[in-house]
Amino acid sequence: MTGPRHSVEFADPGEARDLAAFLGRLVHYDRAAAVRLQAAGTKLAVFGRPPAFDVIAVRTALLSKPYEHGLDHTLDTTVSAGELLDSLDEAAATGEVPEAVTGPPWAGILPPRGGWRPEPGLPAPAALSAAVAGVVAEFRTRAARLAPEARTRPELDRLGHDLWSRPAGDTRLPLRAVHAAQSLGFLRPPAPAAPRETAGAGVDLLAAGSWLRLRTPYGSVAVRLGGLGGLGVTPA
């Protein structure tokens, strides 16, 4: 028998709407996607892993009041992204925390909470978007040149890995992280009213240990230089 679900109340409908957009993109890539939720005080952090990119994406949302459920004042659980998305009421700015699921391996390998420092060499957002478009075009051109018998999944994965492992500008950040940020809606022109928790922020690159973090006003993409293990990076 499962216990009662507990709810979260967002600071405004926009916070719920932006979180719903993020969850919707994750579910688009993987209908069985899971997300790890961490909440303390009025900040909810949602971690997900879009399967094609070997990165961890982070979207935060502001709550209307400090998180509290009975005697619990913090939240740390892994849940179904689809169930969380279905629970969101954007107009009411509320949502329910689904029952916990068995966490995938990446959920235990999250980026550090602190210790981040600026990393130089990141191109401007327009140049980052152009670089992603260039790699997508190059992948399609080179794939089309392959003989039909050579256009196998392993060969396409190898080609995609080589292309997306290229660095962004003069940084150590692989372009697959930039592609992930763009695909998740993080790399786009700022809205007239930026999210409150990142108002005034731009696009920058941070480093902490073996992690790099591409931070934008709409969310972050973190990549571990040693890799998270697992999945291919064929462009979509």
pLDDT for 176-185, tens place per residue? 999 999 999 9
CA distances 198 to 116, 159, 232, 234, Å, are 16, 36, 31, 31
Tell me the mean pLDDT in the region 104-109.
Answer: 92
- Report pLDDT for 230: 41
**Rg (the chain; Cα; Å):** 19
Q: Where are the alpha helices (DSSP H) in the chain?
A: 13-29, 81-87, 125-145, 153-164, 175-183
Q: How confident is the model at residue 188 (pLDDT cuts 50, 70, 90)?
A: confident
Tell me the mean pLDDT in the region 112-124.
Answer: 95
The answer to whether residue 2 scores a pLDDT higher than 70 is no
- Label the pairing between strands 117-118 and 204-208: antiparallel
Fold of domain 6-108: DNA Polymerase III; Chain A, domain 2 (3.10.150)
- Report pLDDT for 191: 60
- Type of residue at 1: M
Is pTM, for the whole model, over 0.85?
yes
The answer to whether residue 229 scores a pLDDT higher than 80 is no
CA angle 40, 42, 44 (to 5 degrees): 65
The answer to whether residue 67 scores a pLDDT higher than 90 is no
Instruction: Let me know: does 203 contact 125? Beta carbons within 8 Å.
Output: yes
Sequence ranges of the domains in the chain: 6-108, 117-224
Q: How confident is the model at residue 51 (pLDDT cuts 50, 70, 90)?
A: confident
Q: How confident is the model at residue 192 (pLDDT cuts 50, 70, 90)?
A: low
Buried b / exposed e along 163-174 (16+ C-beta atoms within 10 A) = bbeeebbebebb
Instruction: Among 28-42, 64-78, 115-129, 134-148, name the one with the lowest average pLDDT.
Output: 64-78
The answer to whether residue 168 scores a pLDDT higher than 50 is yes
**Mean pLDDT for the chain overall:** 88
Residues 6-16 pLDDT 10s: 889 999 999 99
Instruction: Let me know: does 91 contact 13? Beta carbons within 8 Å.
Output: yes
- Report pLDDT for 7: 87
Distance, in Å, from the CA atom of 18 to the CA atom of 195, rounded to the nearest integer, reads 9
Percent of the chain past pLDDT 70, that is, above it, reads 87
Distance, in Å, from the CA atom of 48 to the CA atom of 64, rounded to the nearest integer, reads 23
* Count of beta carbons in the 10 Å neighbourhood of residue 201: 14
More confident site: 40 or 38: 38
For residue 128, give the nearest of 167, 81, 78 by alpha carbon.
167
The gap from C-alpha 82 to its chain's centroid, in whole angstroms, comes to: 15
- Report pLDDT for 234: 37
